[in-house]
Amino acid sequence: MRPAISWADLRNAEVGVWGLGVEGEASIRMLRTLGARVVLVDDAKPTYEDAEVLAIDHGGLEALLRCHAVVKSPGISRYLPAAAALDAAGVPVLGGLGLWLQGAPIERVVAVTGTKGKSTTSAMLGHLLDGLGFPTFVGGNIGRPPYDPARTAGAPEPRYWVIETSSYQATDVAVSPPIVAVTSLHPDHLDWHRSVEGYYRDKLSLCTQPGARLTIASSTSPALVERASLLGPQVEWVSPDPTRRTDWHRTLGVRGDHNLDNAEIAYRCLRALGLDPDPDSLAEAARGFPGLEHRLQTVRTIGEVEFVDDSLSTNVLPTVRAIDAFAAQRTAVILGGFDRGIDYHSLGEALATREAPLLVLTIPASGDRIRRELADAVLPSAVEVRAADDLDAAVRAAYAWAAPRGVVLLSPAAPSFGTYLDYRQRAAAFVAAIDRYCVAAPG
């Protein structure tokens, strides 16, 4: 049983904040509004606004053990020895989202999770609700945490809350919103969760806490269908159906069949909230959807060559979907990044039916392994695989190959760690390389 503790329960207490990322800083602000005495622990930051910050192995754990409770940032694994030590000492280890849900207007909250697709689906649902006249907060794993005082200062109360929830955050949630959407399920974050089954169990635990009512789930993920027993008391499956592709789907202006599936999940969430807009109202609400930055986002067009940023792709599944979005076009895709041991054999299987010309350019650090695992597949003659020394070299080679009227796609299927601070910096480097090397026609 997870502790059912809310932010209000921490008023005037001594509380540790473990991890000073976006959520950690929001937690500090929230605790200060509650009059709590805050102990700061982070291995990377020696100070925060002139306050001392302890490293976990240099006084930090001892300080946390003296606290009434500890609010842990999502990126810190629940399974670290320090977390186990806190559990053994009876110090509750909590997550900011879980604390917020305990006191939230839960009947107006929709949680969206999934290995991939959760950010886009959350953004779509929020856009539709806003377009239908219901002020909606979209945040959680994307944007601001819902409990951040910096968000709430002077802001009107939303009618609905769409909370994108990562597997890390789900692990600390002790109450389920009545509506949870699950977009997909595939292995990921195994270092944090310790195993594939641990990852699946932790992520889907969002569907089975007290208050759980309905899970809207995609039937396209075999792992999700196989684990239907982990999806709560009632499941509504969403299956691909081209006959449902109506005007409002097209009005969204998103690429790829997978995004139409995400849109259908968002629509089912509307229905679950008791909303049933007519087709014209739905199409009007869908209009102007901006999509997500760094997710199949066209960032440059030079001549008739389109450059597409999909830097958010850190795993095989979204990269397969990104490539499929250009199934009929000559496409050069840039793959590779931090090597966290992802199995790329499924990428080779997905490319086996490719008919339009495709150039796969791999970059370090995982590039060599990607090429080796693709070599195990029987690839059609339309697919060519090459190595590039770095992102700049890959962009130059991709542009030369894709011209005069193809697509250059950055969809790395790997994290950005090691070379870049994050996926945003990687995307910026992609655009900088385009501007540096691709202004003139290749030759």
For residue 300, give both structure tokens: 């440059």
Please, what is the average pLDDT of the chain? 93
pLDDT at residue 69, as a whole number = 98
pLDDT at residue 124, as a whole number = 96
Reported as a pLDDT band with limits 50, 70 and 90, residue 242 is: low
Per-residue model confidence as pLDDT tens digits over 306-315: 999 999 998 8
Residue 440 above 70 pLDDT? no
Pick from 180, 147, 175, 178: nearest CA to 4: 175
User: Comparing 203-217, 223-237, 248-262, 367-381, which segment has the lowest mean pLDDT?
Assistant: 248-262
Per-residue model confidence as pLDDT tens digits over 160-185: 999 999 999 999 999 999 999 999 99
Match 């299927």 to its residue by tokens.
413
pLDDT at residue 412, as a whole number = 97
Distance of CA 19 to the CA centre of its chain: 19
Residue 121 above 80 pLDDT? yes
Residue 245 above 70 pLDDT? no
Per-residue model confidence as pLDDT tens digits over 417-426: 889 988 999 9
Residue 66 above 90 pLDDT? yes
Q: Can you tell me the distance from the alpha carbon of 108 to that of 179, in angstroms, rounded to the nearest whole number?
A: 9
Residue 274 above 80 pLDDT? yes
pLDDT at residue 240, as a whole number = 74
Per-residue model confidence as pLDDT tens digits over 19-35: 998 899 999 999 999 99
User: Comparing 77-81, 168-172, 242-246, which segment has the lowest mean pLDDT?
Assistant: 242-246
Reported as a pLDDT band with limits 50, 70 and 90, residue 188 is: confident
**Structural domains of the chain in order of their starting residue, each with its CATH number:** 7-94 (3.40.50.720), 99-286 (3.40.1190.10), 297-437 (3.90.190.20)
**What is the average per-residue pLDDT within 80-96?**
98
User: Comparing 7-16, 38-47, 404-413, which segment has the lowest mean pLDDT?
Assistant: 38-47
Q: Hey, which bits of 19-171 come out as E strands?
A: 37-41, 47-48, 51-52, 69-72, 93-94, 109-113, 136-140, 160-164
Residue 244 above 70 pLDDT? no
Pick from 341, 346, 349, 374: nearest CA to 360: 374
SS3 per-residue string spanning the chain: CCCCCCHHHHCCCEEEEECCCHHHHHHHHHHHHCCCEEEEECCCCCEECCEECEECCEEHHHHHHCCCEEEECCCCCCCCHHHHHHHHCCCCEECHHHHHHHHCCHHHEEEEECCCCHHHHHHHHHHHHHHCCCCEEEEECCCCCCCCHHHHCCCCCCCEEEEECCHHHHCCCCCCCCEEEECCCCCCCHHHHCCHHHHHHHHHHHHCCCCCCEEEEECCCHHHHHCHHHCCCCEEEECCCHHHCCHHHHHHCCCCHHHHHHHHHHHHHHHHCCCCCCHHHHHHHHCCCCCCCCCCEEEEEECCEEEEECCCCCCHHHHHHHHHCCCCCCEEEEECCCCCCCCCHHHHHHHCCCCCCEEEEECCCCHHHHHHHHHCCCCCCCEEEEECCCHHHHHHHHHHHHCCCCEEEECCCCCCCCCCCCHHHHHHHHHHHHHHHCCCCCC
Residue 246 above 80 pLDDT? no
State which H helix or E strand residue 332 sits in.
strand 331-335
Per-residue model confidence as pLDDT tens digits over 124-160: 999 999 999 999 999 999 889 999 998 866 778 899 9
